[in-house]
Amino acid sequence: MTPPKIKQTSGTCSLCNSSFSKTKMKAHLESCKQKQAAPSGKQAPTKKAFMILVRGISLHEYWIYFEVPANVYLKRIDDFLRDTWVECCGHLSKFTINQKTYNSMPDAYFDDLGMNYSLYKLMEQGTTFNYEYDFGSTTQLELKVISEYQIEDADSSIKILARNDPPLILCENCGNPATYICAYCEYMDEGWLCDECASVHECGEEMLLPVVNSPRVGVCGYVG
């Protein structure tokens, strides 16, 4: 699904609320994290963390920079992506890293790999890998390890550092901001509608999904 006429999106840094494009955000986050770091003195124990950029493979206007401890399992990123961007009906998912596939529900008969692998064993700074959710109406994401650094050892959370601001998508009928997408018309790259136009759309109310800030907008039953 390709939203019409969307320019490159800017995003907001969660550390300082500054706004930058996706490309400029990388340099900003690296600088901003240094400024936000604890002052020198007695230091708490630390561990390695990754800064990762995830974006829609065909929908580059949707993107997130997040921080994740390097010792957590790959399953944690799967959970994060589901909770933040893609989960709708409990579909299967998988990562492809260095030509190996890691599945959310591995089949022992086929010697499938699961997701219980620590990140530091699978990736390093510069590693690019892919994620797929739902093998029918698939949402495809690309992830890249932007940098690695030390965080406090007690911190085990995944943190959103920055994400794209919701893109402005216009109603194809009247040009007002779209608030709905028709799940039937989206297969023809159509069906972006404002409240008023959605109320009289010929496919009916049951086919309408909300416009949400996610590369899965308009797909399956995803409502954000």
- Looking at the structure, give the CATH architecture of the domain made up of residues 10-36+44-164: Roll (3.10)
0.85 cut: is pTM over it? yes
Q: What's the mean pLDDT in 20-49?
A: 83
Q: pLDDT (tens digit, 9 = 90+) per residue, 159-196?
A: 999 999 999 999 999 999 999 999 899 888 889 999 99
Q: pLDDT (tens digit, 9 = 90+) per residue, 3-17?
A: 555 557 899 999 999
β-pairing, 19-21 vs 159-164, is: unpaired
Q: What's the mean pLDDT in 199-219?
A: 94
Assigned token pair, 122: 């699978």
Output the pLDDT for position 125.
97
Q: pLDDT (tens digit, 9 = 90+) per residue, 67-124?
A: 999 999 999 999 999 999 999 999 999 999 999 999 999 998 989 999 999 999 999 9
Q: Which residues pair with 149 in a beta bridge?
A: 49
- How far is it, in rounded angstroms, from Cα 98 to Cα 81? 20
Q: Determine the Cα angle at 160 with ends 32 and 117, to 5°.
A: 115
- How far is it, in rounded angstroms, from Cα 166 to Cα 163? 9
Residues 6+ apart with CB under 8 A from 51: 29, 30, 65, 66, 67, 145, 146, 147, 148, 149, 161
Under the banding of pLDDT at 50, 70 and 90, the label for residue 39 is low
Cα atoms found within 13 Å of the Cα of residue 114, Cβ hemisphere only: 10
Q: Where are the domains of the chain?
A: 10-36+44-164, 168-224
Does the pLDDT of residue 1 top 90, yes or no? no
Ramachandran angles phi, psi of 112, nearest 5°: -65, 145
Output the pLDDT for position 95.
98
